[in-house]
Structure 1
Amino acid sequence: MDRPTALVARHYVAIGGSGPEDVVSDGRGRVLTGVADGRILRLDGLTDPGTARVETLADTGGRPLGLQLLPDNALLVCDAHRGLLRVGLGDGSVRVLADSVAGERLRFCSNVVALSDGTVYFTVSSRRYPLEQWIGDLVEHTGTGRLLRLAPGDGTPEVLLEGLQFANGLAPSTDESFLILAETGARRLTRYWLTGPRAGRSEPFVEDLPGMPDNLWRAGPGGPTWVALAGPRVPPLDLLHRAAPAVRRVAARVAVRAPYRPTGMIGVLAVDDDGQVVHHLATGGSPFRMVTAVCEAAGHLVLGSLRERGVALCRPSGPK
């Protein structure tokens, strides 16, 4: 992969909540996010930190992660504690669309997309570890992530893919013929075909990423898919993943009890529908850490984080 260009932060905007894990923008340049106390927030005027506005739209009663705006002023929310939700942005209503699959409670819903026909696809990062112990899954390398589908009008999700390494962000291709899926624990993007002769099959899309991919965001029809890199490649972790399962389990028990300190290396990528990297931006020594989401709004890249108490705005992307 080519040398990255600098990811330059313009400013930081405090939002009065912790952990804006995903960020998505609407047609008016506003940004929606969910924070650790369960609130769904809408951020406006982010280009001026002094006058930026933060509005609470709803409270899921859980821990919102991945978000997907719908055309009818509603929001799909993957809630790590409550499952797949539909939130009314006008009245703040919260409705559970799915909280179990095949009799098993949805422990760790991660990211969601809705296609033009109303079909909803969403990921479960781990069947073994909850959100609060996410690092345990990455260390143990459980391969218990899933991709699920919820058909329009259906209340029971269908499992499409299993055995994924911490399934995370989702984005559709421009023509909706396939989904791009982030496997954080494998440092790769995977393609899942929805139509054509390979429908129902998956294959590597972009491998050996320079960091661990998290949430994905598509910049409109024909635009690239942005990939947040939550952390850099960790060579000792790559070695551990080749160790025996018993060794990984012991290491995971240690990891979930140790304080996690993210590095100052942050980065984002953008890929086209052919799997080519069209932007790669990164920087070291950043005070804003653990970038778990990126979107475009008001002419800037907006970064979210599982740990920070605000969002960061960066200059627009330049050449790869």
Structure 2
Amino acid sequence: MKLSRIVWTLLLLLALVVAYLTLAPVPVNPVAWQATPFVGYAPPHARNEQLAHLQQLNIGSETGPEHLLLGPDGRLYAAVASGAILRMQEDGAQREVWINTGGRVLGFAFDAQGNMIAADAYRGLLRITPDKQITVLCDQVDGTPVLYANSVVVAKNGKIYFSDASQRFGARQSGGTFHASVLDILEHSSTGRVIEYDVQLNQARVVADQLSFANGVALSQDERSLFVVETGEYAVWQIALSAQQLHLKSNKDQRLAHRILRDLPGYPDNLMRGEHGRIWLGLAKPRGAAIDQMADRPWLRSLTLRLPRFLWPVPPAYGHVLAFDEQGKIVADLQDPGGTYPETTGVLETRDRLYVQSLHATSIGWMSKPPNLR
């Protein structure tokens, strides 16, 4: 009798676990998609250790130097997780908190007047004047809110282009930038978009949408097109600035948009223009076979979110940055298989150095520029 009771108790517990894993509500409604097989670290992404011995700039108690840029004053600016923008000399000296937006800036640029134009994931598109006055330029488009401003560039004509990573999972509403990105990529509903903001007219319009987590942006040299990262599908798009609310997954017109890079070996993040026509790209995480295998199994992705977070199939740390030209040719590929400097989101190239950005690091990584890039 006692043994029978134990058996029935175990069966009941098993039934409850199965019911939870199959029926418990989750915040995503996953969409099936087709992931191409990952072929490994083959040329032009042959495994190497050129990024394995970065030197470090101290940023005190701050973390996550997600974006770096040299300002008009020649000093290095860094956006960190606390919402602060740090300012320092190129060697890290005289570090200070220049401003704190009260949000989380993920990308920024400077306009011709010396204003910082910032993509704040919590607040939208901001303008920060040299005397530290903050103005929200754009937090909605056609009545729909900007939920996850991610990356931004300013054209010579003053127009601003920025990515809104997701219309489903806002960074503030979904537990922070990283958690929101995981939810958006797992769901794969492709609601990311690229927005043009006209400062003179105070008007915003959607250039293109249907991106699975819209991320880094960079202008072409002739400023007729925009390079845009699609993190969820390991790709970089080239999109004509003349496009009007182009639905990328529906459109077949190669004159307006096409993938210039696809099937990258990791999750692409920021884009930054370097020297000699180079465009630098950071891969925040390597691709994972388990995640790719769930691409056409939406139910399995829902089940994953019912597991404790430590069981989620998040890929391990793997340092990886690369540079390509405007035709999509890879011209540099630097890796750290050990992931010593985690979540490499991008690269700032100066005359003598490469500064490496990170989502969660506690310092700014840098290295002297290799001879082949000088």
Task: Please report the TM-score for the alignment, with normalisation by the length of structure 1.
Answer: 0.89
Instruction: State the distance in 1 between where 2:308 and 2:221 align.
Output: 39
- 1:191 aligned to 2:245? no
- 1:72 aligned to 2:144? no
The match for 1:287 among 340, 347, 351 is: 340
The match for 1:217 among 272, 277, 286 is: 272
The match for 1:208 among 235, 253, 263 is: 263
Instruction: State the distance in 2 between where 1:300 and 1:189 align.
Output: 25
Q: Offset at 1:242?
A: 2.0
| Structure 1 residues 318 and 233: alpha-carbon distance in aligned structure 2, compared to 1, 3 A threshold | farther
Work out whether residues 58 and 87 of structure 1, in 8 Å CA contact, stay in contact via their aligned partners in 2.
no
Identity %: 31
Q: Offset at 1:45?
A: 3.5
- 1:83 aligned to 2:130? no
Supply the AA of the counterpart residue of 1:32: Y
Instruction: State the distance in 2 between where 1:225 and 1:83 align.
Output: 25
| Structure 1 residues 63 and 254: alpha-carbon distance in aligned structure 2, compared to 1, 3 A threshold | farther
The 5 A counterparts of 1:110-149 are 110-131=150-171, 132=176, 133=179, 134-149=181-196
Q: Offset at 1:121?
A: 0.8
The 5 A counterparts of 1:9-158 are 9-16=53-60, 17-26=62-71, 30-46=75-91, 52-88=93-129, 90-131=130-171, 132=176, 133=179, 134-158=181-205
Work out whether residues 279 and 325 of structure 2, in 8 Å CA contact, stay in contact via their aligned partners in 1.
yes
Instruction: State the distance in 1 between where 2:371 and 2:51 align.
Output: 10
Q: Offset at 1:247?
A: 3.8
Instruction: State the distance in 1 between where 2:128 and 2:53 align.
Output: 31
Supply the AA of the counterpart residue of 2:286: P
**Which range moves more in the overlay, 25-34 or 272-281?**
25-34
- 1:299 aligned to 2:339? no
| Structure 1 residues 87 and 272: alpha-carbon distance in aligned structure 2, compared to 1, 3 A threshold | same
Supply the AA of the counterpart residue of 1:240: M
**Which range moves more in the overlay, 233-242 or 111-120?**
233-242
Instruction: State the distance in 2 between where 1:269 and 1:317 align.
Output: 13
Work out whether residues 30 and 297 of structure 1, in 8 Å CA contact, stay in contact via their aligned partners in 2.
no
Instruction: State the distance in 1 between where 2:309 and 2:256 align.
Output: 34
Q: Which has the higher helix share?
A: 2
**What is aligned with 2:32?**
none
Instruction: State the distance in 1 between where 2:242 and 2:257 align.
Output: 12
Q: Which has the higher strand share?
A: 1
Q: Offset at 1:81?
A: 0.7
Work out whether residues 281 and 317 of structure 1, in 8 Å CA contact, stay in contact via their aligned partners in 2.
no
Work out whether residues 290 and 313 of structure 2, in 8 Å CA contact, stay in contact via their aligned partners in 1.
no
Instruction: State the distance in 2 between where 1:199 and 1:57 align.
Output: 43
Instruction: State the distance in 2 between where 1:4 and 1:43 align.
Output: 33
**What is aligned with 1:316?**
369
Q: Offset at 1:142?
A: 2.4
Work out whether residues 264 and 286 of structure 1, in 8 Å CA contact, stay in contact via their aligned partners in 2.
yes
Q: In the TM superposition, what whole-angstrom CA distance separates every residue of 1:140-172 from its partner, at most 9, and x where no partner exists?
A: 222111111112323342112111011100001
Work out whether residues 25 and 296 of structure 1, in 8 Å CA contact, stay in contact via their aligned partners in 2.
no
Instruction: State the distance in 2 between where 1:181 and 1:286 align.
Output: 25
- 1:234 aligned to 2:281? no
Instruction: State the distance in 2 between where 1:13 and 1:231 align.
Output: 22
| Structure 1 residues 261 and 140: alpha-carbon distance in aligned structure 2, compared to 1, 3 A threshold | closer
Work out whether residues 262 and 290 of structure 1, in 8 Å CA contact, stay in contact via their aligned partners in 2.
no
Instruction: State the distance in 1 between where 2:242 and 2:370 align.
Output: 32
The match for 2:324 among 263, 271, 274 is: 271
Instruction: State the distance in 2 between where 1:255 and 1:174 align.
Output: 46
Name stretches of at least 5 consecutive residues in structure 1 with no aligned partner: none
**Which range moves more in the overlay, 6-15 or 169-178?**
6-15
Tell me the secondary structure at the aligned position of residue 9 of structure 1: coil
| Structure 1 residues 255 and 275: alpha-carbon distance in aligned structure 2, compared to 1, 3 A threshold | farther
Instruction: State the distance in 1 between where 2:315 and 2:356 align.
Output: 15
| Structure 1 residues 123 and 255: alpha-carbon distance in aligned structure 2, compared to 1, 3 A threshold | farther
Instruction: State the distance in 2 between where 1:237 and 1:319 align.
Output: 35
Tell me the secondary structure at the aligned position of residue 95 of structure 2: strand
Aligned residues: 312
Tell me the secondary structure at the aligned position of residue 157 of structure 1: strand
Supply the AA of the counterpart residue of 1:286: G
Q: Offset at 1:249?
A: 3.7
| Structure 1 residues 206 and 255: alpha-carbon distance in aligned structure 2, compared to 1, 3 A threshold | farther
Instruction: State the distance in 2 between where 1:286 and 1:199 align.
Output: 37
Task: Please report the TM-score for the alignment, with normalisation by the length of structure 2.
Answer: 0.77
